Amino acid sequence: MSESRCRAVLFDLDGTLADTAPDLAGALNALLAELGESRLPFADIRPHVSHGARAMIGFALNLQPDDEGYAPLHRRFLEIYSAGLAEQTVLFDGMEELLLAAEAHGMPWGVVTNKPARLTDPLMAALELTGRAGCIVSGDTTAHAKPHPEPLLHASRLIGVPPEACLFVGDAERDIEAGRRACRRTLVARFGYLGADDRPDAWGAAGIVDSPAEILGWPVAAG
């Protein structure tokens, strides 16, 4: 293997592999409706999705985990979301073609997400990706979540490819930090859920892509 080439691709889930924002935004607005609050525009919610339920609740209700009343709202949000987590979620345009190309060349791919396994596993199953992914590492699979490198190091062990031979693609700064610490090679998925204040060019990634198809242009190799 050339030093410049990779032999596996790992993806963040929300905002990179799959467009989960419609279902997550729907769950958040359903929670707001239960509380008698006004619905929020999808475009306002979308940039917060990759940062998880904590960020979404913080944005919508100005509550943090240590605040009184946060815990039951967090539980209720996850209940609503888990009941319909794959109603509108789909792979991003071009992602299926990317996965098929990787599989055709014998290149393993996997998912490394901070989403808890109780949500990740049924979502991957609903998308019919469970048997195709070389690994699925959730936020509670290892002792630490991203931006710690441990989830990516664990993923590389599961797929049998050294971390330095893996390419990691994500849409949040913590993804790139984790990838740089573990895999060294990272790409920012600008088609994901970046916010107006995000500065992906300052995150230290190897590159920025505007579509899954562009990932095929990066130095990756099978075997």
Q: Which residues are part of the catalytic machinery?
A: 12, 14
* Residues 9 and 220 sit within 8 Å (Cβ to Cβ): yes
